[in-house]
Amino acid sequence: MGAQRSKSSFVVLGALAVLALGAGVALRRVLVRPAHAVDARRAPAPGASTTGGPPGELVLHVPHLPGSIVLDGDTDDPGWTQPPGPARTGPFLMPDGSEARPYSNTRLVWGDGHLYLALYAADEDIETRTTQPDGPLWLDDSYRVTFEAPGVQYVIEVSPTGVVTDAIRRAGGPYDYSWSSGAHVSPERDGTVNNPNDMDEEWVIEMAVPFESLGMKGEPGESIGLSLRRCDTPKRSPRVCRSWGEGEDKGRIVLD
């Protein structure tokens, strides 16, 4: 009988150990999340709660700015630095989920009738030759910001020197470049433009987009589709473009 009780106790203890190990693994899976998933959450179905929803869409909850922002290319203003801090896309990713090179990310806050974006681009060779607004920035190093609402698409492209090309597209028709977003931009660069003989480091665009130009009021709870694409031609390498909010996981922002 003593031997039987010892054997039963061993079986019970072993089962408990397996359960504890499984719980520990499950807890670790909950707590350990990819860095890029911190702010990018799955969007809800229309009319559902903003805390969750079906797959196929990434949503950023954009906070109201906690202080002022001066558009000077530096992101050290209170609107960027004070809690709760901006929404962040995290690094743009490759199709396999790895971090794209060159590195790119975007931060967002809103207030004063504008959506503010800080577009960051690491860049060893800053190249841009388009100098006129509404020129072909898609041939240069550039950022493309696309907002999408039912039946309409708003596209704003910006170069490392702050040149803007913007257009509107309705119902899948052609792009209309006579439209103006009214976006205010300020560039900041660490490097020399169009000089492949030295090593550059990065460029940043601070951008303020009026909600009115996007058909929005600028109120908590408002939402609009958003995708971001950054294109670059590295030294002695072919042109590459990486994005957030394109492809299978469509992007969307919600004003908190």
Residue 204 belongs to domain with CATH number = 2.60.40.1190
State whether 134 and 222 are in the same domain: yes
What's the rounded Cα separation, in Å, for the pair 166 and 179? 7
State whether 18 and 95 are in the same domain: no
Residue 47's pLDDT is 29
Domain that holds residue 93: 38-255
Residue with tokens 């492949």: 196
State whether 68 and 98 are in the same domain: yes
What is the DSSP annotation of 136-149?
Answer: -GGGSSEEEEEEEE
pLDDT along the chain (256 residues), means of 10: 42 40 37 35 33 68 96 94 97 90 97 98 96 95 98 98 98 96 97 93 98 98 98 89 91 98
CB neighbours of residue 86 within 10 Å:
22
State whether 64 and 20 are in the same domain: no
Residue 22's pLDDT is 45
Can you give the pTM of this predicted structure?
0.79
State whether 65 and 155 are in the same domain: yes
What's the rounded Cα separation, in Å, for the pair 176 and 165? 11
Tokens of 71: 């558009």
Task: Please say whether the beta carbons of 255 and 218 come within 8 A.
Answer: yes
Give the chain's domain count. 2
